[in-house]
Amino acid sequence: MTEEERFQLKCINTIRTLSMDAVQAANSGHPGTPMAMAPVVYCLWQRLLRFDPEDTIWPNRDRFILSIGHASMLLYSILHLCGVRAVNPKYEVLGELSVTLDDIKRFRQLDSKCAGHPEYRWTSGVETTTGPLGQGVATSVGIAIGGRWMGEYFNRPDFTMFDFDVYALCGDGCMMEGISGEAASLAGHLRLSNLCWIYDNNKITIEGHTELAFSEDVATRFIAYGWNVTRVGDANDLEMLDRAFRTFKNTNDRPTLIIVDSHIAYGSPHKQDTSAAHGEPLGEEEIRLTKRNYKWPEEAKFLVPEDVREHFQSGIGKRGSALRKEWMERFAAYKGKHPELADHLYRMQARQLPESWDKGLPSFPPDAKGIASREASGKVLNALGKNIPWLMGGSADLTPSTKTRLTFEGAGDLLAGNYGGRNLHFGIREHAMGAILNGMSLAKVRPYGSGFLIFSDYGRAPLRLAAIMEIPVIYIFTHDSIGVGEDGPTHQPIEQLASLRVIPGLITLRPADANEVVEAWKFIAQSRHEPVALVLTRQALPTLDRTKYAPAEGVKRGAYILADADDGKPLVLLLATGSEVSFCVDAYEKLKAEGIKARVVSMPSWEMFEYYCSKHPEYRESVLPAAVTARVSVEQASTLGWERYVGPHGHMIGMHTFGASAPLKALQKKFGFTPENIVVAAKEQLKLAKH
């Protein structure tokens, strides 16, 4: 072994021992994969990665994603050794380290930047939150798509503003999860040559050897997907790793999978094949033996030799700084030659809207017959799409039904070799679509994805991760209720609205008519950190007369008084969302004709209402006066949650079973969604209130 090779091993062993010590101190976590994959990460970061530790949000940086999030100490160790600097929520680079040695010593402890799994927005240098296996690699596809689109939109002769690569480190668990297959299939179809997955083929999962449940030929599977596949037979072979990465860099017609065969080596022979390392700390004695095997000071803990820090500074630090400086100089010249594009680039990176983003938004005149909220949404989406060049998306093969195609001139389709299009085709891959949307958002484009509300269940994991990461992904869910009629219970969402509402940080919006749709989209466009589920109908909804009823701008408060008693002192409240609001308006008119004072409250978003009330406590009482206990809620879904608004004695008209296959009118009558039934419920509530 040469002197250089010995020093490289010293750097690699620094990553390994930091990981071992942190997991042991926490008495929680997984040191095995960080130990096995340390050479891979060392080779990639020190030799190839275009990343500046001084500026972790430099737009054209390469992205590294740890899809095997349980190996988080691998990422925290390299972030610390490279001297990666922290960035605050205002995109300001701070002088302090993103991951300090104290953070590593407090791995998995409260307020440490070294959480159990990598968390975006919490630890600078973490490109996406990972943990649920398969999510990271699927998200990487979205980042790669975003990079390709930005290259098409922003690059000009002599000005290559975007050409970054995306690397994702995954393991057997990621390969077993179905989402990785969905995402890999689409990546191969799109020929995303800026995407590289590194597969840690160590044949170990928590239950034991992968032969218990996994025997497929991964290489052949990925060749069938249209990927370039190469193999490194020993994870410790830096030159073969370097060669594999260079092969990726030289492949310009498809994504690359590098299969790395790894073996976790410990001090004790009995540990060799168990990956006790995968599920638990090694123990003090095993750590001593392993450090002895590494020729490392056995009693030293959290040791970082100074020459190792200097080595990373002279490698990735020097290279990354030069690349970023060159890019910033290029951007300064770019602003002079292409000022509008430069402005767009800056606004997109800062999640800001272009000027006149709301120009030409439609308004809808009163119409008793009305329009489906999915149709109205499609019109608004196209108006916004003209004004916001980086707004793009598609559906899981349902665009004609969800009305989410951008149809204006120049929108085009994003296809292999044509990455400038703004209409995406995700195929019937709801789960992968959700993760890909997350990746696109992390690349800073503004993505939307659509499907039927019932199929939100297929994409729930990435939807939840978007909320954790606080990224403004847009989900458009149509066919929102038993209103899908003859399609029957399999396609009629019952519990989905309630399940979306319980996700912290996710905004669920169910507008009542076309003009509420416009206001909903205004809120969505301006959201910078909140993912939104926009829930829309297949069937036509009456467009309310806003000269007679309240303006739709009340949507921004989450709930508002749509129709009220003449004296503003109602005796009964009718609360609803979406298509059921018009039923309540009809019931209100019937009650009014009988001299009964009622109020209709449209509640398109519970989350927005609660947030607004937290800032303006008096607003809740103005909309839902505590003295009015006679209340009826109406929603064609599970009633779970409505009790907070109708109170202990209120009446909830909702679904308590799955739906049925029948025409819409028959279903509404069967399940009680008629103005007449609402009137009956309101009168019963008034009787109860008097007692």
**CA 580, CA 636: separation in Å to the nearest integer?**
7
pLDDT of 1 reads 86
Q: Angle, to 10 degrees, between the axis of helix 3-26 and the axis of helix 72-81?
A: 120
**Stretch among 22-26, 196-200, 207-211, 665-669 having the lowest mean pLDDT:** 207-211
pLDDT per position as a tens digit, 427-484: 999 999 999 999 999 999 999 999 999 999 999 999 999 999 999 999 999 999 999 9
The percent of residues above 90 in pLDDT, for the chain, comes to: 93
345 pLDDT more than 60: yes
432 assigned to some structural domain: yes
Same domain, 518 and 562: no
Domain endpoint, select from 476, 509, 541: 541
Same domain, 626 and 677: yes
CATH number of residue 66's parent domain = 3.40.50.970
CB atoms within 10 A of CB 589: 14
Contacts of residue 381, defined as CB under 8 A and 6 or more positions apart, other chains included, come to 403, 404, 406, 448, 521
351 assigned to some structural domain: no
Q: Domain residues for 625?
A: 555-690
Same domain, 293 and 176: yes
pLDDT of 94 reads 77
Same domain, 504 and 587: no
Which residue carries 């590289």 as its tokens?
196
CB atoms within 10 A of CB 661: 15
pLDDT per position as a tens digit, 137-195: 999 999 999 999 999 999 999 999 999 999 999 999 999 999 999 999 999 999 999 99
Same domain, 62 and 204: yes
342 assigned to some structural domain: no
pLDDT per position as a tens digit, 438-450: 999 999 999 999 9
**CA 74, CA 34: separation in Å to the nearest integer?**
5
Q: Tell me the pLDDT of the chain averaged across its residues.
A: 95
- DSSP label at 495? S
The percent of residues above 70 in pLDDT, for the chain, comes to: 98
Domain endpoint, select from 293, 324, 355: 324
419 assigned to some structural domain: yes
Q: How confident is the model at residue 3 (pLDDT cuts 50, 70, 90)?
A: very high
Averaged pLDDT for residues 41-61 = 97
pLDDT per position as a tens digit, 65-117: 999 999 999 999 999 999 999 998 777 777 899 999 999 999 999 999 999 99
527 assigned to some structural domain: yes
CB atoms within 10 A of CB 666: 13
pLDDT per position as a tens digit, 574-603: 999 999 999 999 999 999 999 999 999 999
330 assigned to some structural domain: no
Domain endpoint, select from 290, 324, 358: 324
pLDDT of 90 reads 76
pLDDT of 272 reads 46
Same domain, 111 and 256: yes
353 assigned to some structural domain: no
Same domain, 449 and 516: yes
Same domain, 577 and 658: yes
pLDDT of 265 reads 54
559 close to 604: Cβ distance less than 8 angstroms: yes
Same domain, 387 and 287: no
pLDDT of 427 reads 97
The 3-class SS string of 120-154 reads CCCCCCCCCCCCCCCHHHHHHHHHHHHHHHHHHHH
pLDDT of 389 reads 98
CATH number of residue 590's parent domain = 3.40.50.920
Q: How confident is the model at residue 275 (pLDDT cuts 50, 70, 90)?
A: very low
pLDDT of 264 reads 62
The token duo for 240 is 């073969």
Same domain, 377 and 445: yes
CB atoms within 10 A of CB 50: 18
pLDDT of 266 reads 57
Q: How confident is the model at residue 267 (pLDDT cuts 50, 70, 90)?
A: low
- Is 285 an annotated catalytic residue? no
529 assigned to some structural domain: yes
Same domain, 314 and 439: no
| Residues recorded for the chain | 691
Strands (E), 176-292: 195-201, 204-205, 208-209, 228-232, 256-261
Same domain, 313 and 441: no
What is the count of structural domains for the chain? 3
Active-site residue, from 127, 177, 286, 430: 430
pLDDT of 206 reads 83
